[in-house]
Amino acid sequence: MHPILIRNNVKILGEGTQVIIFAHGFGCAQNSWKFMTDAFLEDYKVVLFDYVGSGESDITQYDHYKYSTLDGYASDVVEIIEALNLKDVIFVGHSVSSMIGMIAALQKPEAFQKLVFIGPSPKYMNDGEYIGGFEAGDIQTIFNSIEEDYAGWARGIAPVVMDKAYPPGLFNFLQECLEETEPSIALAFAMATFKTDCRDKLKHLTVPSLTLQSRSDIMAPLSAGDFIHQNTPHNFLVVMQATGHFPHISEPEETIREIKAFIKNNGTTLTSMIYA
């Protein structure tokens, strides 16, 4: 097996020829897509992977300097695509993976057909008129909590980011996902995530994209999704009925439906897909 595929614990499933790559968010791994992947296996080739330091990736390949920015993670996405010789990829990224996918598409645009951003944010920190949802002090508190007691932070944050309206079993699943990440790597990934500012990169994206936004999301407010929609060429915005930051776990059927609708649309008949 190619060393890149071992490094990122790459799994390939499905019967189709059209390729979909699912990229997990901070603190999770490829198993976070378990409620969605079956819906794509009949018609698509599904590629799952773990970022280095997450899930069952090869943690010996972790490089603190490389992964101190999202560019390091994006280069890994490109390397997976090249190792598998993939073309016309549909990339589905959750949370920070939305911007990782965007950066990867800037690095190698010819490999991508469409991008799907689930709960994206180009910048988490408020900045003048831009509302990312967090003040600098909020973000430092997150870093401190992860550093001091990562397991306790994971226990506390799971029901908050999932939205307490959902069954406790989903909180437990998310908590278990979070707890599988080594704490020091989780802290470094959190720093790379919360310190990023991708706002100026959006205008350079040529690949059509979909922003899938929950109607309430403590991590990625509607203002962040709207900023992406307003500043990214060929971007469509759907505000779902789902709430919370993990609609692919809490409301997989709605998330699947919107992704499939975007894939099937050729992009020539829609100027926007904004749902209230």
Catalytic residues: 95, 217, 245
- Positive or negative, the CA dihedral 99, 22, 29, 4 is negative
CA–CA distance, 89 with 84 (Å, rounded to integer): 11
CB 154 within 8 A of CB 178: yes
Angle at 205 between CA 98 and CA 225, to 5 degrees: 45
Calpha distance 130→84 (Å, rounded):
39
Residue whose C-alpha is closest to residue 175's, from 196, 145, 202, 155: 155
**What is the C-alpha to C-alpha distance for residues 276 and 269, in angstroms, rounded to an integer?**
20
Burial class (CB in 10 A: 0-12, 13-18, 19+), 201: middle
